[in-house]
Amino acid sequence: MNKFIDLLKSKCECTQIGLLILRILPGYFLIVNHGWKKITHPEKWGGLGEAVTKYLGGIDFLNPIFGFLAAFSESVCAILVLVGLFTKPAALLICGTMFFAALYHITGTGNPELALIYFSIFAAIFAAGPGKYSLDSKFFSNNKD
């Protein structure tokens, strides 16, 4: 029993593997189920951008830019998080997109649950960092073995 308690208290490899899983699975699902179809259809970016501009008022001309940012964060940023490269800024951009997606669903039609789940996951990744098994760790770590 003491070994089990020591394992729970220690920073074992389980934590690093957990961070790896937390990056890979949601990153993959975000790309495949949401990001890919948005980034490959630029004609839809204007409609995506309305999720932001409807709250800011009077800046409808920015719809395609905000739509591109949503598509970029759900595809390119999700890939960056998945491989663990520039993880924190990429996760922060995804959190921003998921915040507006949830807000859009709360005030419009649909259910904000999935956007809030993605927001929670990528906020945890932003807070915890990419972990040991990431390209960030390989390229930007101060600890040289």
**What is the model's pLDDT at position 12?**
67
Measured from the Cβ of residue 21, the count of other Cβ atoms closer than 10 Å reads 12
State the Cα–Cα distance between residues 135 and 81, nearest whole angstrom.
10
In a domain, 28, yes or no: yes
- Expressed as residue numbers, the domain containing 90 is 22-136
State the Cα–Cα distance between residues 119 and 92, nearest whole angstrom.
9
Q: What is the pLDDT of residues 40-56, one digit of tens each?
A: 999 999 988 888 888 78
State the Cα–Cα distance between residues 126 and 139, nearest whole angstrom.
18
Give residue 11's pLDDT band: very low, low, confident or very high (50, 70, 90). Answer: low
In a domain, 145, yes or no: no
State the Cα–Cα distance between residues 133 and 117, nearest whole angstrom.
23
Mean pLDDT confidence for 26-37: 96
In a domain, 49, yes or no: yes
**What is the model's pLDDT at position 87?**
97
Number of domain units in the chain: 1
In a domain, 8, yes or no: no
Mean pLDDT confidence for 8-26: 85
The larger pLDDT score, comparing residue 121 to residue 104, is at 121
In a domain, 111, yes or no: yes
In a domain, 9, yes or no: no
Q: What is the pLDDT of residues 38-94, one digit of tens each?
A: 999 999 999 888 888 887 877 888 999 999 999 999 999 999 999 999 999 999 999
Give the chain's mean pLDDT: 90
**What is the model's pLDDT at position 33?**
96
State the Cα–Cα distance between residues 122 and 77, nearest whole angstrom.
11
Whether residue 123 contacts residue 95, with contact meaning beta carbons closer than 8 Å, is answered with yes
In a domain, 56, yes or no: yes
In a domain, 27, yes or no: yes
Q: Which of 93, 76, 75, 91 is nearest to 131 (CA)?
A: 91
**What is the model's pLDDT at position 145?**
41
